[in-house]
Structure 1
Amino acid sequence: MLSNEAMAVLKARYLKENETPDALFMRVAHHVAQADKIFGCDPQGTAEDFYNLMSSLDFLPNSPTLINAGKSAAQLSACFVLPIEDSLEGIFETLKNAALIHQSGGGTGFSFSRLRPKGDKVAATGNSSSGPVSFMHVYNLATQIVKQGAVRSGANMAILRVDHPDILDFISVKKQRDVLNNFNLSVAVTDEFMSAVIKNEPFTLINPRTQQVAKKVNAKDIYNELIEMAWENGEPGLFFIDTVNKFNPTPRLGMFESPNPCSEQPLLPFESCNLGSINLANMLKDNKQLDYDKLRRTIRLAVKFLDNVIDINHYPLHEVADKTKLTRKIGLGIMGLADLFIKLDIPYGSDVAVKLTAKIMNYITSEARQMSHEIALVRGSFPEFRHSVFPMKGYNAMRNATVTTIAPTGSISLIAQCSSGIEPLFALAVTRRVLEGQLITSTNAVVMRYLDKRGLLSSDVESAIGKQGTLRDVYLPASVKEVLLTAHEIAPKWHVAHLAAAQRYTDNGVSKTVNMPHQACKEDVAEVYMTAYLAGCKGVTVYRDSSRNEQVLTHGTTECAKCVI
């Protein structure tokens, strides 16, 4: 049975008029299964398998698939990256393409790094360039207008390389609150820059138009500004671009320059990717150990589902269709990890938990890759396979250039009634700002069952959970409180440890926010950044509680009980 919270989200965003959740899952399953016809197979059995996969809440695909499947010209992918060329024509051609993608329910990532810096020469007019940040404001306004009529609010990622002359303007642009609200910001950080920071050396900024040195700066000045802004309002994040490109499976096609809006999916220009997530909270045998047989069956069916999406998808641009089908990237991830740990009586902030995160993702990627290989033997490899890294690794076939990505799963984890992505619980009871400002409250059912099973669910405990969202001021066994620690109570080093453990065995990127208490200091942010880089993470984001006027999640439900939908 779906929770009130799940039903509120489904009704607001996903269900057609008079449609039930059961009918939604059947609609999606039937539509995605039709790809089997392309290969001469009867889709009926596949549709039943897909329906069971979703209706059990063992797996859910990204939101555009749930929203659009069954419609005419159904666009099913969540993630797109578009290139921006250094010309007025190129800038506005990309803006047009982004509008079409937003209208279809997709999100877009852009690198503004090719654009010449502010004050640079514009030969066609003899004037000076206004720089990349100015065009970000134009893109932001267009997104705001388009999303008012779109099926899903448009979202963007803006990337600027750390060696761009306008990098300080980019880093500090959100000092003025209430600007670029339709953008997430990340800086493309290079190994050269991090080395200069570590060694306290000068760093060179390069004019992208001329490829000439613009000026030399102190690397730590830039790094400290990054830390200052992240501490102040959570942006920009860091996108370790050289680390990302070390794992590029198709280097002949070019290099990554931007990820999608939540930064977990690096893509080549014009590529798209469809994502889906396995609910780990449903993968247990009697709440005592992980059911690897069930997990394996779920992985294999989910890979087939996501691969089918590529063939049945209606792409908003022909360039996107061509590039996507050249590599056939999919991104299978996880949600419910924090719930899994609670069911297994394991603290999130422990070596045991970190090792289990790594073990799970190693298993999922290995099984997903094996399934991709088996599909390729029947349906063929992705067209760029011969020039990819896979033949050198001993593979004779592979259907998908990548198979795993860990997304934030904000909406689909609400539907699946589990914790999001690889995050710890933000709170044991939470008020969530969603659906154009509406508030939804919920108490974590896994936590309540955990306490009840141990005879610890007293009225005082329930009251504390409702008021504060934590058990820090309640007398309970230390081992129980350790298992039920929330995001702000878990040391940042454990957040980064899980991020690194998951990334080690994930083809694409991992969405992970290191949530910090309000009293966290800038040195804490600096430590997270450096630790994440040295651990081989592809990116990292921090957020200090209440550092923005409005935030999606707040602790407890009592004060806002009237807001429950």
Structure 2
Amino acid sequence: TAPRVEKDINAKNLWDKIVHNAWQSAEPGILFWDTIINESVPDCYADLGYQTVSTNPCGEIPLCPYDSCRLLAINLFSYVEEPFTSNAHFNFSLFRKHIAAAQRIMDDIIDLELEKVDGILGKIQADPELQETKAVEIRLWEKIKEKALQGRRTGIGITAEGDMLAALGMRYGSEEATKFSIEVHKTIALEAYRASVHTAKDRGAFEIFDAEREKENPFILRLKEADEKLYYEMLEYGRRNIALLTIAPTGTTSLMTQTTSGIEPVFLPVYKRRRKVNPNEQNVKVDFVDEVGDSWEEYVVFHHRFKQWMRTEGLDTETTYTQEELDKIVARSPYHKATSNDVDWLSKVRLQGAVQKWIDHSISVTINLPNDVSEQLVGKLYLEAWKAGCKGVTVYRDGSRSGVLISNETETEETLTSFPTKRPQVLEADVVRFQNNKEKWIAFIGLMEDQPYEIFTGLADDEDGILIPRWVDDGLIIKNREEDGTSRYDFQYKNKRGYKTTIEGLSHKFNPEYWNYAKLISGTLRHGMPIVKVVDLINSLQLEGESINTWKNGVARALKRFVTDGTEAKGQKCDNCTSTNLIYQEGCLTCKDCGSSKCG
């Protein structure tokens, strides 16, 4: 047996530590393991290998070893007929038909997966290695195949819950909306299980189905109470799938459906963005010129279904509205007080708990909180989630991943990355090109643990510059020794034929002034100064000459790419609405209040 360590601890102290860390850094999310196990239908077969041991990364499917996370999402918004009108209604008849079809498709997907697993096993068997060399890999795939065959687990889920409720004129988190969501998910549970029973009639039940094992399971008992006919059909014919339901994040799926994602409310119904424009082109509107001279046009982005509501209300979506006008439009919409940031958090938790009772796996959900909430509120939300019957929950406090460890009235201590004191001979490197005014620049950024460790940069097209193909965007920086003992840094990349090409003497290819400043910046990087602070330091340099200042702005832009998304931009204001609630997103400063973005 595996070694076991036991220790008595103070439960309240542990709880307080969990809450504090969740408030401080959005980790850990919390799983209510007793609820997961007690409600789990597959755990009725724990002694046959279906004991739940963990969840997939997003938490929507608690899994046993070797089983697969198979997901399919149904777009709830698509069943709202005459959306955003007084006649809006949900087509439950069509919804039931599609749930049955979706469950049948999911069962087919398992057979497709088994075909692929057989192909992998056949390929391994045909490989020339000795059988004992291949034995571990063969056993792994045999176990995966066994779990798929025996249990045939599926993951029917949804997306667009937020848009569905808005289209029906219900505010997310309200009592009316919660009751309707319960009815929708109860319908999914009953119809998916009914489809699994009907498929078992045609194709047979999953191999280890045993109604006696499941008779006291809380989820199965809820199905029995809701539909006795379905329950007794399941006793007679069995069920095709060991467990069927989930709610995943559906981020990419929601981009395709142009709806809210999963069970979440809309993030923002309307926000502003900027795009870079050429001021010399005709009919170009320049709203902003950044510090390096790039021109930007500002434009409003509407959430797709919010735009649909606007059209229903006779509002022109092409009109340029003031911020005050946009605020008034949102206030009269069904999305008012129903966004990620302003929804009632306790109501959202209770909604999740109520819906969870009709999902045999779990729900992936995040509660977004403003920066100024207390630790006590985070603890209250976690406790309320447990009371409501949730299987897990995560909170994210705005700005909580900005790197702050300790904060008091007089000072703030930042996290520092600990790099080895001795530089390895070879570092992976990113190549970044940028153009300021008419000058072309290039930067070689040496990386350690995927973070900037050193930087070499300068003009890319001067007489002594570096000639490197445009398609090269990464390579290696190699430290070598000259005969006189001085260090030399070379850049190496693979050409399109796979041959290594080395450019010697990066430090000698650029203007000495740039090289000296780059050494200073590299020193701060090597000693672990947070990237956002290095960018601030570069921007604060008081340099003379247009060329060197252009270089300074380019280096700052190159390093911004490595600032962690969500990092708070302290001491800066939004040029659009003057808010100080700014974060870095994909290297750009983004305003959390109005949505405007500033790059460069």
Measured against aligned partners, the alpha-carbon deviations of 1:285-331 in whole angstroms (never above 9, x if no partner) come to: 22211011221121111111111111111247221121122111111
Corresponding residue number in structure 2 for 1:545: 398
Q: Which amino acid aligns with 2:63?
A: L
Corresponding residue number in structure 2 for 1:162: none
Corresponding residue number in structure 2 for 1:411: 252
Q: 2:265 aligns with which of 399, 410, 424?
A: 424
Residues 265-280 of structure 1 correspond to what in structure 2 (within 5 A)?
265-280=61-76
- Listed as ranges, the gaps of 5+ residues in structure 2 are 121-140, 217-230, 274-298, 403-564, 567-584
Corresponding residue number in structure 2 for 1:143: none
Change (3 A) 1:561 1:333: farther
Q: Tell me how far apart the structure 2 counterparts of residues 526 and 230 of structure 1 sit (CA, whole Å).
A: 9
Q: Which amino acid aligns with 2:34?
A: D
Q: Is the 8 A contact 1:338 1:425 kept in 2?
A: yes
Measured against aligned partners, the alpha-carbon deviations of 1:83-126 in whole angstroms (never above 9, x if no partner) come to: xx95xxxxxxxxxxxxxxxxxxxxxxxxxxxxxxxxxxxxxxxx
Q: Tell me how far apart the structure 2 counterparts of residues 447 and 515 of structure 1 sit (CA, whole Å).
A: 20
Q: Tell me how far apart the structure 2 counterparts of residues 344 and 516 of structure 1 sit (CA, whole Å).
A: 26
Q: Is the 8 A contact 2:354 2:389 kept in 1?
A: no
Q: Tell me how far apart the structure 1 counterparts of residues 321 and 376 of structure 2 sit (CA, whole Å).
A: 36
Q: Tell me how far apart the structure 1 counterparts of residues 67 and 339 of structure 2 sit (CA, whole Å).
A: 36
Structure 1 residue 517: Cα displacement: 1.3
Corresponding residue number in structure 2 for 1:263: 59
Change (3 A) 1:225 1:253: same
Measured against aligned partners, the alpha-carbon deviations of 1:33-56 in whole angstroms (never above 9, x if no partner) come to: xxxxxxxxxxxxxxxxxxxxxxxx
Structure 1 residue 390: Cα displacement: 4.8
Say whether residues 1:309 and 2:93 are aligned partners. Answer: no
Residues 237-248 of structure 1 correspond to what in structure 2 (within 5 A)?
237-248=29-40
Corresponding residue number in structure 1 for 2:189: 365
Corresponding residue number in structure 1 for 2:4: 210
Q: Which amino acid aligns with 1:504?
A: K
Q: 2:13 aligns with which of 203, 221, 227?
A: 221
Q: Which amino acid aligns with 2:173?
A: G
Say whether residues 1:480 and 2:333 are aligned partners. Answer: yes
Change (3 A) 1:441 1:226: farther
Q: Is the 8 A contact 1:333 1:404 kept in 2?
A: yes
Structure with higher RCO (Cα < 8 A, 6+ apart): 1
Q: Is the 8 A contact 2:349 2:385 kept in 1?
A: yes
Q: Is the 8 A contact 1:273 1:330 kept in 2?
A: yes
Q: Which amino acid aligns with 2:93?
A: D
Q: Is the 8 A contact 1:448 1:457 kept in 2?
A: no
Q: Tell me how far apart the structure 1 counterparts of residues 316 and 385 of structure 2 sit (CA, whole Å).
A: 38
Corresponding residue number in structure 2 for 1:319: 143
Change (3 A) 1:441 1:407: farther
Corresponding residue number in structure 2 for 1:292: 92
Corresponding residue number in structure 1 for 2:304: 445
Say whether residues 1:559 and 2:596 are aligned partners. Answer: yes
Q: Tell me how far apart the structure 2 counterparts of residues 464 and 496 of structure 1 sit (CA, whole Å).
A: 31
Change (3 A) 1:431 1:244: farther
Structure 1 residue 350: Cα displacement: 0.5
Measured against aligned partners, the alpha-carbon deviations of 1:354-398 in whole angstroms (never above 9, x if no partner) come to: 111111000011001000100010100011112664567542210
Q: Tell me how far apart the structure 2 counterparts of residues 237 and 402 of structure 1 sit (CA, whole Å).
A: 24
Change (3 A) 1:415 1:525: same
Residues 147-186 of structure 1 correspond to what in structure 2 (within 5 A)?
none
Q: Tell me how far apart the structure 1 counterparts of residues 103 and 199 of structure 2 sit (CA, whole Å).
A: 9
Give the structure-2-normalised TM-score. Answer: 0.53
Measured against aligned partners, the alpha-carbon deviations of 1:405-450 in whole angstroms (never above 9, x if no partner) come to: 0001011111121110000111124699xxxxxxx99531211221
Corresponding residue number in structure 1 for 2:370: 517
Say whether residues 1:399 and 2:223 are aligned partners. Answer: no
Corresponding residue number in structure 1 for 2:344: 491
Corresponding residue number in structure 1 for 2:219: none
Change (3 A) 1:505 1:430: farther
Q: Tell me how far apart the structure 2 counterparts of residues 390 and 273 of structure 1 sit (CA, whole Å).
A: 22
Q: Tell me how far apart the structure 1 counterparts of residues 142 and 272 of structure 2 sit (CA, whole Å).
A: 42
Q: Which amino acid aligns with 1:304?
A: R
Q: Is the 8 A contact 1:422 1:498 kept in 2?
A: no
Change (3 A) 1:276 1:290: same
Q: Is the 8 A contact 1:368 1:403 kept in 2?
A: yes
Corresponding residue number in structure 2 for 1:334: 158
Q: Tell me how far apart the structure 2 counterparts of residues 371 and 340 of structure 1 sit (CA, whole Å).
A: 24
- Listed as ranges, the gaps of 5+ residues in structure 1 are 1-84, 87-208, 433-439
Measured against aligned partners, the alpha-carbon deviations of 1:469-511 in whole angstroms (never above 9, x if no partner) come to: x96xx33585536646311111211220221122011111011
Give the structure-1-normalised TM-score. Answer: 0.56
Greater Rg, structure 1 or structure 2? 2
